[in-house]
Structure 1
Amino acid sequence: MASIVERRGRFCVVYSYKDKNGKRRQKWETYKTMSEAKKRKKEIEYRADIGQMIVPHCKTVKELLEEYVNLYGKEAWALSTYSSNVSMINNYIIPIIGGDKLENINTRFIEKYYQRLLRTPAVINPATGKRQSEYVTPATIRDIHKLLRNCFQQAVKWELMAKNPVIYATVPKYKSAKREIWTAETLMHALEVCEDDRLKLALNLAFSCSLRMGEMLGLTWDCVDISEEAIAESRAFIYVDKEVQRVDKAAIQELRGKDVILVFPEESKKNKTVRVLKLPKTESSIRKVFLPKSVAEMLVEWKKGQDKIKETLGDEYMDYNLVMATPFGLPIGTSSIRKALNDLIKEHDLPPVVFHSLRHTSVTYKLKLNGGDIKAVQGDSGHSQINMVTDVYSHIIDDDRRKNAELFEQAFYEKKNLDPSMHANVAGKTVELPTNVDAELLAKVLSNPEMAALLSTLAKSLESK
């Protein structure tokens, strides 16, 4: 039914359809790559076979967004992404510019829309019954910008618009809040004073395995190897291939249960959300993470305790094989973990952090310990892009930053390391240096974790070339 035609370096999907009057018409949709064109061709033929053929022919922003969600969103978005994007569309886009015609949309129009959003009252959060802020924040506008940029790009592919009006639009300045993290000393102290065994295990798993909250709560015993042999040979591991998440019931229905492995029993029929066990959002999140011996032994003891509860409760225990489960086998709610952590922080006057900060602490210290092997850390953390790991590494501990100042003070201002005749011995290898390079200073610089990580990454990138 559909065919692909190459035209001026682009790939056009060409197909026929019947309009509202039953007249047969031809439609051309343009894509940058052959793979995109093949994907769209396959989708068109599939929808035609099941009698759900939808041809983009919208005139207003609202009509474009509706087709964008149906044709693109339902295929590309995960459950949580679908819910948040549809919410943004219904709350902040359609009510304000939904009726505007596509032919009137340009970059100036989009920028004026963003400025209007800054003066628009934020909607009430249905979960809390309160507004998170008085007006729409620059952070939310940034998310709206990303969504519209992708939406109008689809419109260009569908040949509904000549160019994307959002690409060059200026977004209100947004400054991301700095996420505080615990140092290793603080974390070890927190673990020492923590009397909640469940929280203690959660903290250790998040830190040692760089886990997200949902990944930790979705971990099942069949994905854990803590046998005596594995622990003795330092090859105990967990396999992350699913997560627990609370999602909107409507989203599950709209996406026909996409990525959902199972739906846990509902706490109340009146709830609009339900807790599910689902596949991770990205393929890179599926990974094997090796366990430190101490954490593996904690899991051994945890399983013994859980097995005793199962034996006591018998059939009353709803066994979903979850590692982190309630006394009756159901998944633990994220709010329970957050509350326990907040209570620990208040009780022992610890620096305030959120649970996800432990993942950042984990990534930071793994990079510091392995000399900046970003790929290895990315394998543990499951980040889809390597720059996400390096962004997390901006959490360099202050002690390391102070070393830079100390090195400068000693080398230059105290003039202790200005002998040009010295040679450096680095990592057991003698390196001949140019006469104008201070070897002792270089050795001290290399001993600094930040500089070592940077140089190691640079060397690996050069090797790969």
Structure 2
Amino acid sequence: MTSPRLASSRRSRTRANGDGTVYQRKDGRWEAAGYVLAPGNTRKRIRVYGTTRKEALAKLTEKIAASNRGLPVAAADSTVSAYLTYWLDGVAVHHLRENTHTRYAAAIRLHLNPGLGAKKLARLTTRDVRTFLDGLRTTCQCCAQNRDSVRQSCCAIGQCCEKRLSPLTVTYVHAVLKSALEHAVREDELRPRRFQPFTAAEAREFLQSAGADRLHALYELALRTGLRKGELLGLHWEDLDLTGGTATIPRSLQRTRSQGLTVLHTTTLASERRIVLPTECINSLKIHQERQEEERKAAGTGWTDTGLIFTTPKGRPLDPTNLTRRFRRLLHCAELRTIRFHDLRHSTATLLLEQGIDLVVIKELLGHAHIGVTAGVYAHVRLRLQRQAIDTLGNALRPTGNDPDDPPAAAVVR
């Protein structure tokens, strides 16, 4: 028979119709779900998450309250434009000064919406943002925004004035986008893309399979140092000190819409870094250098001298897309599971964490601007390692049936 106190407690936890539901998931997080106003004057069921029931419920209550005020709540399947509208009018407006809000609105209307607005929020990638920012730096704004179509001058009559945005303005537009996306992450609308890094066994098998590949040295660098694809393809021989065993990472090779394959400077001071080269990478780079010299002689006058380390057999820059195809073929031939090339970088960080390497060292190696980026991306790895540590401690504290006066066995702490 149910006691009056228990029945009263259950009734008190019953939420009113329209307030949504709250429950604890198997992974320990709390999930709250409810219906809100979505773009297009439709109703949409959304889900938010929190570490406690109170946190999840507060997030849902905030969204429902905004919806009741007539503000559409964007979700992960919304476009970037829809989310920026929601964020500017429903979130930023409450903590920005009027003039700042006006400038944010102008940055969104003139640059962010035309450049990224049609993309789905959940499918927005770092490459999309980088390509967009490169376009802002290199594209004439009169042409991009069709400013001279009415007065029939300048760009409209084929005489481009080449009026480009200043570096300060590009940085400002980037800051507006960053603020909006950071809020999307906090609201669980935009989740970090899950990745599947190699295990240590898979990494060893991959390196062994790549041994006979023409780009073996590139794969060694990617897995042992965590360099990005563009950073690898943008490396010059002058960037290496094979005697001292170091490499400087000053640039990146990217494909842009306006200029095709383009060498760009790294986006932040943290990305422009100096790293230590493992002995295995030094050896493979020396072999690669000898092989490239043979290709140079074989190509004769057809050789293009770019100074790049990783090139085509004729010396021209390697296209990032072609490298991705080559990488997938290598995985297929080695009968390894398919991962993204960028997951080699995640494999580096994950394996280093599993070996107990300090997060600060990993941050410097990967070239992250802030340690919070490193900690956030690999939070799930650190949580798994914590769980393993707790289990190890639990095993050590479990009764063994030995004499209680026996001294504890020595343990190796890594």
Q: Which TM-score tier does this pair reach, normalised by the shorter chain?
A: 0.5 to 0.7
SS of the aligned residue for 2:256 comes to strand
- Structure 2 equivalent of residue 13 of structure 1: none
Shift of 1:244: 0.2
Unpaired runs of 5+ residues, structure 2, are 1-98, 115-127, 138-144, 146-171
- 2:245 aligned to 227, 233, 236, which one? 236
Once residues 185 and 341 of structure 2 are traced to their aligned partners in structure 1, the CA distance between those partners, rounded to angstroms, is: 35
Shift of 1:205: 0.6
- 1:342 aligned to 298, 305, 328, which one? 328
Once residues 363 and 238 of structure 1 are traced to their aligned partners in structure 2, the CA distance between those partners, rounded to angstroms, is: 18
Contact residue 234 and residue 308 of structure 2 kept, 8 A = yes
Shift of 1:315: 2.8
Once residues 359 and 267 of structure 2 are traced to their aligned partners in structure 1, the CA distance between those partners, rounded to angstroms, is: 21
User: Over the residues paired in the alignment, what is the CA RMSD in angstroms?
Assistant: 4.4
- Structure 2 equivalent of residue 157 of structure 1: none
- 2:392 aligned to 389, 407, 417, which one? 407
- Structure 2 equivalent of residue 119 of structure 1: none
- Structure 1 equivalent of residue 196 of structure 2: 180
Contact residue 241 and residue 280 of structure 1 kept, 8 A = yes
When residues 411 and 206 of structure 1 are mapped into structure 2, their CA distance, relative to the original with a 3 A threshold, is same
Tell me which amino acid in the other structure corresponds to 1:242: R
Shift of 1:353: 1.2
Contact residue 211 and residue 359 of structure 1 kept, 8 A = yes
SS of the aligned residue for 1:283 comes to coil
Once residues 373 and 222 of structure 1 are traced to their aligned partners in structure 2, the CA distance between those partners, rounded to angstroms, is: 30
Shift of 1:200: 2.4
Shift of 1:327: 1.0
Once residues 333 and 384 of structure 1 are traced to their aligned partners in structure 2, the CA distance between those partners, rounded to angstroms, is: 26
When residues 176 and 302 of structure 1 are mapped into structure 2, their CA distance, relative to the original with a 3 A threshold, is same
Describe the superposition over 1:280-310 as per-residue Cα deviations: whole angstroms up to 9, x where unpaired: 1111111111111121011011011111221
When residues 418 and 224 of structure 1 are mapped into structure 2, their CA distance, relative to the original with a 3 A threshold, is farther
Shift of 1:62: 6.4
Contact residue 133 and residue 174 of structure 2 kept, 8 A = no
SS of the aligned residue for 1:345 comes to helix
The yes-or-no answer on 1:66 pairing with 2:110 is yes
- Structure 1 equivalent of residue 254 of structure 2: 245
Once residues 401 and 375 of structure 1 are traced to their aligned partners in structure 2, the CA distance between those partners, rounded to angstroms, is: 18
Unpaired runs of 5+ residues, structure 1, are 1-54, 71-76, 87-93, 95-145, 154-163, 250-272, 423-438, 448-465
The yes-or-no answer on 1:388 pairing with 2:414 is no
The yes-or-no answer on 1:310 pairing with 2:336 is no
Tell me which amino acid in the other structure corresponds to 1:296: I
Contact residue 223 and residue 240 of structure 1 kept, 8 A = yes
Shift of 1:168: 11
- 1:357 aligned to 343, 346, 354, which one? 343
Once residues 189 and 152 of structure 1 are traced to their aligned partners in structure 2, the CA distance between those partners, rounded to angstroms, is: 39
- 1:80 aligned to 131, 148, 152, which one? 131
The yes-or-no answer on 1:319 pairing with 2:305 is yes
When residues 208 and 419 of structure 1 are mapped into structure 2, their CA distance, relative to the original with a 3 A threshold, is farther
Tell me which amino acid in the other structure corresponds to 2:176: N
Tell me which amino acid in the other structure corresponds to 2:372: N
Tell me which amino acid in the other structure corresponds to 2:327: L
Once residues 245 and 236 of structure 1 are traced to their aligned partners in structure 2, the CA distance between those partners, rounded to angstroms, is: 26
Shift of 1:417: 9.2
SS of the aligned residue for 1:318 comes to coil
Shift of 1:411: 3.0
Shift of 1:214: 0.1
Once residues 152 and 367 of structure 1 are traced to their aligned partners in structure 2, the CA distance between those partners, rounded to angstroms, is: 27
Once residues 59 and 291 of structure 1 are traced to their aligned partners in structure 2, the CA distance between those partners, rounded to angstroms, is: 45
Shift of 1:83: 6.0
Q: How many residues align?
A: 269
Contact residue 360 and residue 392 of structure 1 kept, 8 A = no
Shift of 1:151: 7.2
The yes-or-no answer on 1:293 pairing with 2:279 is yes
Describe the superposition over 1:353-385 as per-residue Cα deviations: whole angstroms up to 9, x where unpaired: 11111111112233444x432222222211111
The yes-or-no answer on 1:217 pairing with 2:233 is yes
Contact residue 181 and residue 395 of structure 1 kept, 8 A = no
SS of the aligned residue for 2:270 comes to helix
Contact residue 226 and residue 366 of structure 2 kept, 8 A = yes
Once residues 398 and 149 of structure 1 are traced to their aligned partners in structure 2, the CA distance between those partners, rounded to angstroms, is: 30
Shift of 1:349: 2.6
Contact residue 216 and residue 243 of structure 1 kept, 8 A = yes
The TM-score with structure 1 as length reference comes to 0.49
Contact residue 78 and residue 281 of structure 1 kept, 8 A = no
Describe the superposition over 1:150-207 as per-residue Cα deviations: whole angstroms up to 9, x where unpaired: 2799xxxxxxxxxx9x979995734433200001211111221236523422221111
Contact residue 83 and residue 248 of structure 1 kept, 8 A = no
When residues 168 and 205 of structure 1 are mapped into structure 2, their CA distance, relative to the original with a 3 A threshold, is closer
Tell me which amino acid in the other structure corresponds to 1:222: E
Contact residue 411 and residue 418 of structure 1 kept, 8 A = no
- Structure 2 equivalent of residue 260 of structure 1: none
The TM-score with structure 2 as length reference comes to 0.54
Shift of 1:56: 10
Once residues 100 and 382 of structure 2 are traced to their aligned partners in structure 1, the CA distance between those partners, rounded to angstroms, is: 52
- 2:176 aligned to 142, 150, 157, which one? 150
- Structure 1 equivalent of residue 76 of structure 2: none
